[in-house]
């Protein structure tokens, strides 16, 4: 176990390796001063037209000064949105459209600026207030998350099968980290998906044997938040493939450079540049942007320097014709399609498609159709305040791609350096898992997370049903909470009450002492062959370090969700558990988790 001194030294070293960005503001006053300077500079650089209306005689200050410092009032007691609305409604020589544009610009700038104000705790101009999702006022916050209903305990005698699809997305974890560490708020419950917390981390799973694509691994021990229950870890390790053996790729970088991306554009450019520098001579890139309109900057380009130059010139401005842009990206993907290759669109956005045919149904149909033609879609999320997580999760799932969120340049480097091959090259398509629990050993079970990958048991062998993908060298981690067959009666009843006896059939268990049987089914990379199905019988699973860490991560997610299944979990006990898993050679990901956990514990205090 790590000592306090060792842990402090490691956390200090981690902070030194991940310094604050240069555009961080020290305070609200610092933000105001720098914002005024840039606003005045921009105004002076913009020539006025000959027929421009003069400023209002009673107040010749700029709109921004009137917004932040209304005359005759102390520091505004109203929110920025309220004051913008008041200003837009007040009669003036300016046209209503111009006022609406000013309001939209104020909202955009506020959304971009608030995450950079130290502590993220100022929701009003000049005074402290409550903060909503993303560190911006409730008035401005339009982040969207799909509702997630946790799975209950299921009696294995009545339903011994549990079926779900693979999912290696990690956006839920890094998005929550952004809220906790940058914005100083706890994330909304629906944004916390347990499986995406688990799958952010690497585990020590054994590599598959020669000729095997994916190998399962199992561990079992007491649940730390409810010692009367057990936790079962199901871990899968995909085989690695050398980079020079991977198929040629055509990437279509589809980059949202609209005004709402202004606060994260530099980070986005760094992320795309990192991926670009890893391209091989046989790989090609097309580049489409959609800020103020759809623009094709590159088409089937293999010149790395040309790609980097095009990315470096990107700026955030204008509206967001996302629907039109995706159609253009697919057209380029077809035009430069590589038979037998890796043809993939990489969408980088905050998901706010506010112009064009961008309904979820229309986008889903388009992405599903193109997936069937061998063009896949991966999604990289960025930004806050107007972040549309629900839309991006849907697009990645329907596009047979991964969904990640980058909250820092360090995360961009991690995702596109360490995880490039797994993110971009699929090894197992439509991967499905089915566990059959033995009622003689397991009274009830509950899958943690994977709510959006639930499948009907009968669909396991139906290869027309869409499921998740496992990339080259990737891992998949799942946890089940178990109530064992020999548990006390009160423990069983608390999980699943004993049903009345059946009249026309029996629930007689067969004579086996196995714990479960695990089935895995998937299609080969090009979906051009028969499905592969494997079966693994598990008699017993022992405790292990993988499970200890996974349980720590899962308990944190349960606390953030304020789950009814969190049992005896508290932040204090969880910090002790997390610390017990750390060592002097702990990696940055787990040290960062500990920092995030401690900050969340502070925010959770009444």
Q: How does pLDDT run across 169-213, given as a tens digit for each residue?
A: 999 999 999 999 998 999 999 999 999 999 999 999 999 999 999
Give the per-residue pLDDT at 61: 45
Give the per-residue pLDDT at 350: 87
Give the per-residue pLDDT at 291: 85
Residue 593, pLDDT above cutoff 50: yes
Give the per-residue pLDDT at 263: 83
Q: Tell me if 445 is assigned to some domain.
A: yes
Residue 98, pLDDT above cutoff 50: no
Cα 555 off chain centre by: 18
CB-based contacts of 209, cutoff 8 Å, min separation 6 = 215
Among 45-59, 245-259, 260-274, 323-337, the range scoring the smallest mean pLDDT is 45-59
Orientation of helix 28-45 relative to helix 96-113, angle to 10°? 140
Which is more confidently placed, 138 or 576? 576
pLDDT, tens digit (0-9, with 9 covering 90-100), for 303-359: 999 999 999 999 888 777 777 888 999 999 999 999 999 999 999 998 876 545 456
Q: Tell me if 589 is assigned to some domain.
A: no
Co-location of 189 and 251 in the same domain: no
Co-location of 180 and 286 in the same domain: no
Q: Tell me if 606 is assigned to some domain.
A: no
Q: Tell me if 469 is assigned to some domain.
A: yes
Containing domain of residue 346, as a range? 246-422
238/236 Cα distance (integer angstroms): 7
| Mean pLDDT on 1-5 | 77
Coil/strand/helix, residue 136: coil
pLDDT, tens digit (0-9, with 9 covering 90-100), for 409-444: 899 888 888 767 778 899 999 999 999 999 999 999
Co-location of 355 and 280 in the same domain: yes
Co-location of 113 and 89 in the same domain: yes
Q: Tell me if 141 is assigned to some domain.
A: no
Co-location of 413 and 307 in the same domain: yes
Co-location of 131 and 103 in the same domain: yes
Using the 3D structure, point to which of 103, 135, 167 is the last residue of a domain.
Answer: 135
| CATH number of the structural domain spanning residue 229 | 2.60.40.1230
Among 11-20, 280-289, 487-496, 512-521, the range scoring the smallest mean pLDDT is 11-20
Give the per-residue pLDDT at 133: 43
Q: Tell me if 579 is assigned to some domain.
A: no
Using the 3D structure, point to which of 422, 455, 486 is the last residue of a domain.
Answer: 422
Name the nearest CA neighbour of 274 among 312, 241, 219: 312
| Mean pLDDT on 122-142 | 42
455/464 Cα distance (integer angstroms): 13
Using the 3D structure, point to which of 83, 100, 135 is the last residue of a domain.
Answer: 135
Q: Tell me if 599 is assigned to some domain.
A: no
* Burial of residue 37, with CB atoms counted within 10 A of its CB: 0-12 exposed, 13-18 middle, 19 or more buried: exposed
Co-location of 394 and 301 in the same domain: yes
Co-location of 465 and 408 in the same domain: no
* Burial of residue 65, with CB atoms counted within 10 A of its CB: 0-12 exposed, 13-18 middle, 19 or more buried: middle
140: pLDDT confidence band, cut at 50, 70 and 90? Answer: low
| Mean pLDDT on 290-312 | 93
Co-location of 275 and 410 in the same domain: yes
Cα 325 off chain centre by: 22
Which is more confidently placed, 173 or 504? 173
Co-location of 257 and 224 in the same domain: no
Orientation of helix 96-113 relative to helix 80-89, angle to 10°? 170
Secondary structure letter of residue 306 according to DSSP: H
113/258 Cα distance (integer angstroms): 16
Phi, psi values for residue 567, rounded to 5°: 60, -125
Give the per-residue pLDDT at 12: 78
Q: Calculate what percentage of the chain has a pLDDT beyond 90.
A: 58
Q: Tell me if 406 is assigned to some domain.
A: yes
Q: Are 258 and 290 in contact (CB under 8 A)?
A: yes
Domains in the chain, number: 3
- Give the DSSP letter string of 341-392: SEEEEEEEE-----SSS--HHHHHHHHHHHHTTTEEEEEEE--SSS-BHHHH
- Reading the block at residue 430, the tokens are 């439509």
CB-based contacts of 138, cutoff 8 Å, min separation 6 = 79, 123, 130, 132
431/520 Cα distance (integer angstroms): 7
Co-location of 431 and 534 in the same domain: yes
| CATH number of the structural domain spanning residue 313 | 3.40.50.410
Secondary structure letter of residue 134 according to DSSP: G
- Average pLDDT over the chain, rounded to whole? 82
Q: Order of strands across the sheet with 403-405? A: 294-301, 284-290, 249-255, 342-349, 375-381, 403-405
Co-location of 251 and 130 in the same domain: no
Tell me whether strands 161-165 and 426-437 are parallel, antiparallel or unpaired.
antiparallel
| Mean pLDDT on 520-525 | 93
178/53 Cα distance (integer angstroms): 43
Give the per-residue pLDDT at 105: 52
- Reading the block at residue 278, the tokens are 């890893």
Give the per-residue pLDDT at 561: 97
Q: Which residues share a beta bridge with 534?
A: 520
């Amino acid at each position: 176990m790590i000592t306090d001194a060792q842990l402090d030294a490691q956390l200090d070293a981690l902070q030194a390796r991940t310094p604050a960005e240069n555009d961080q503001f020290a305070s609200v006053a610092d933000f105001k001063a720098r914002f005024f300077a840039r606003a005045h500079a921009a105004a002076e650089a913009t020539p006025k037209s000959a027929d421009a209306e003069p400023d209002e005689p009673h107040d010749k200050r700029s709109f921004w000064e009137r917004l932040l410092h209304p005359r005759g009032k102390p520091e505004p007691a109203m929110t920025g949105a309220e004051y913008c609305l008041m200003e837009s409604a007040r009669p003036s020589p300016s046209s209503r459209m111009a006022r609406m544009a000013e309001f939209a610009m104020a909202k955009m700038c506020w959304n971009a600026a608030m995450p950079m104000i130290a502590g993220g705790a100022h929701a009003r101009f000049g005074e402290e207030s409550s903060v909503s999702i993303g560190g911006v006022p409730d008035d401005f916050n339009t982040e969207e998350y799909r509702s997630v209903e946790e799975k209950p305990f299921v009696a294995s005698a009545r339903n011994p099968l549990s079926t779900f699809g693979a999912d290696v997305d990690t956006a839920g974890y890094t998005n929550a980290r952004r809220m906790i560490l940058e914005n100083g708020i706890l994330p909304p419950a629906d944004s916390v998906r347990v499986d995406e917390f688990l799958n952010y981390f690497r585990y020590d799973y054994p590599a598959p044997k020669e000729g095997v694509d994916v190998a399962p691994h199992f561990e079992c021990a007491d649940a730390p938040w409810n010692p009367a229950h057990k936790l079962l870890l199901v871990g899968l390790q995909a085989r690695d493939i050398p980079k020079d053996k991977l198929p040629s790729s055509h990437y279509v970088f589809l980059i949202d450079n609209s005004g709402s991306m202004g606060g994260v554009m530099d980070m986005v450019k760094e992320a795309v540049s990192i991926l670009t520098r890893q391209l091989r001579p046989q790989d090609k890139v097309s580049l489409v942007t959609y800020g103020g309109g759809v623009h094709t900057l590159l088409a089937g380009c293999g010149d790395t320097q040309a790609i980097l130059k095009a990315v470096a010139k990107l700026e955030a401005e204008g509206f967001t014709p996302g629907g039109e842009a995706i159609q253009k990206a697919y057209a380029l993907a077809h035009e430069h399609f590589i038979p037998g290759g890796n043809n993939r669109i990489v969408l980088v956005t905050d998901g706010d498609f506010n112009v064009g045919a961008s309904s979820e149904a229309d986008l889903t149909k388009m992405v599903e159709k193109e997936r069937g033609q061998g063009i896949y879609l991966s999604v990289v999320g960025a930004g806050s305040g107007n972040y549309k997580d629900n839309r991006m999760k849907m697009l990645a799932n329907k596009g047979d791609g991964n969904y990640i969120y980058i909250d820092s340049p360090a995360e961009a480097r991690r995702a596109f350096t360490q995880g490039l091959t797994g993110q971009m090259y699929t090894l197992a398509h439509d991967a499905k898992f089915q566990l059959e629990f033995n009622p003689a050993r397991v009274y009830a079970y509950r899958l943690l997370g994977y709510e959006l990958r639930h499948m009907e048991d009968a669909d396991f062998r139906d290869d027309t049903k869409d499921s998740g993908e496992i990339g080259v060298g990737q891992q998949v981690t799942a946890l089940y909470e178990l109530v064992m067959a020999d548990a006390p009666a009160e423990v069983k009843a608390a999980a699943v009450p004993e049903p009345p006896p059946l009249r026309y059939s029996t629930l007689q268990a067969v004579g086996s002492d196995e714990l479960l049987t695990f089935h895995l089914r998937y299609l080969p990379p090009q979906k051009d062959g028969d499905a592969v199905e494997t079966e693994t019988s598990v008699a017993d699973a022992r405790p292990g370090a993988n499970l200890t860490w996974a349980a720590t991560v899962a308990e944190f997610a349960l606390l953030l969700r304020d789950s009814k299944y969190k049992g005896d979990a508290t932040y204090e006990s969880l910090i002790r558990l997390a610390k017990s898993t750390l060592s002097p050679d702990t990696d940055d990901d787990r040290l960062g988790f500990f920092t995030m956990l401690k900050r969340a514990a502070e925010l959770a205090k009444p």
